[in-house]
Structure 1
């Protein structure tokens, strides 16, 4: 299965914030959309970085509540690992496991076209297993 198949089910909407967004505002965006990460982008089409709940928690632990007034660029990850829509889900699962990341932007021709989370991957895998189970059950029982 390809990343484009996951996006077809999940949708391609990506929440982004501009680089000058304050961390306090970022926290509100994460809460409002009930998400764990956002892409940092000056134009909503390119990936300048990514910032997650984990980044916020680490910064709060290290620097205290004053960090909330800083821009997201003070805590975001600049070296973002991305995949293309034609990449295989297994490839992305390996990337997530090896790099210990939970969100991967999907980029086609330099343009942001989706974001896949570890939750999306797990849901996809469960759906695949349920389909296989149903097919095997029907085969064994002689069903249709």
Structure 2
């Protein structure tokens, strides 16, 4: 399965955040949307990602004062991306190898979606269900 199909199933809406947003406002947005990460965009360019993990690690190092800092102070700047034509399997490998949970989907430097590890797992489970149904149908026809 390709990432384009994952986006067709889940939608291509992406919530982004400005690098100047406070960490406290970031947490409110993550909570309100029930998501684990946001893409940081400045002038329509992806410049980073920020996740719950980034916040927790900074709080552990610097304390609650982090909540008043800006997203650009805590974001991850090395952003791995993917294309709609990439396979779900290749994304699973990238996510596992680099220990990341979210990948922006890009086309010609434009953000067209985001895929999470949950989307990858759901896709794989759907594929397995489909294969099981086909095998059961095949067995039933042979009887």
Q: Answer yes or no: same fold by TM over 0.5.
A: yes
> Could you say which residue in structure 1 is the equivalent of 2:34?
34
Please show how residues 8-27 of structure 1 align to structure 2 within 5 Å: 8-27=8-27
The aligned counterpart of 2:135 is 136
Distance 1:104 1:29 in 2: 19
Which consecutive residues of structure 2, in runs of 5 or more, have no partner in the other structure?
none
Partners of 1:21 and 1:48 in 2: CA distance:
14
Q: Which secondary structure state, in structure 1, belongs to the residue aligned with residue 42 of structure 2?
A: coil
CA RMSD of aligned residues (A): 1.0
Q: How many residues align?
A: 142
Structure 1 stretches lacking a partner, 5+ long: none
Give the match's secondary structure for 1:106: strand
1:6 corresponds in structure 2 to 6
Q: Does 1:122 align with 2:121?
A: yes
Q: Which secondary structure state, in structure 1, belongs to the residue aligned with residue 46 of structure 2?
A: coil
User: Per-residue displacement from partner, 1:52-109 (whole Å, max 9, x unpaired)?
Assistant: 0000000111100001010011110111000011111111110000000000000001
For 1:99 and 1:137, locate their aligned partners in 2 and report how far apart those are by CA, in whole Å: 37
User: Aligned ranges for residues 89-108 of structure 1 at < 5 Å?
Assistant: 89-108=88-107
Look up the match of 2:84.
85
Runs of 4+ in 1 over 4 A off after TM superposition: none
TM value normalised by structure 2: 0.97
Counterpart-to-counterpart distance in 1, 2:60 and 2:51: 14
Give the corresponding residue for 1:47: 46
CA-CA distance at 1:42 after TM superposition: 1.9
| Residue 46 of structure 1, CA deviation | 2.5
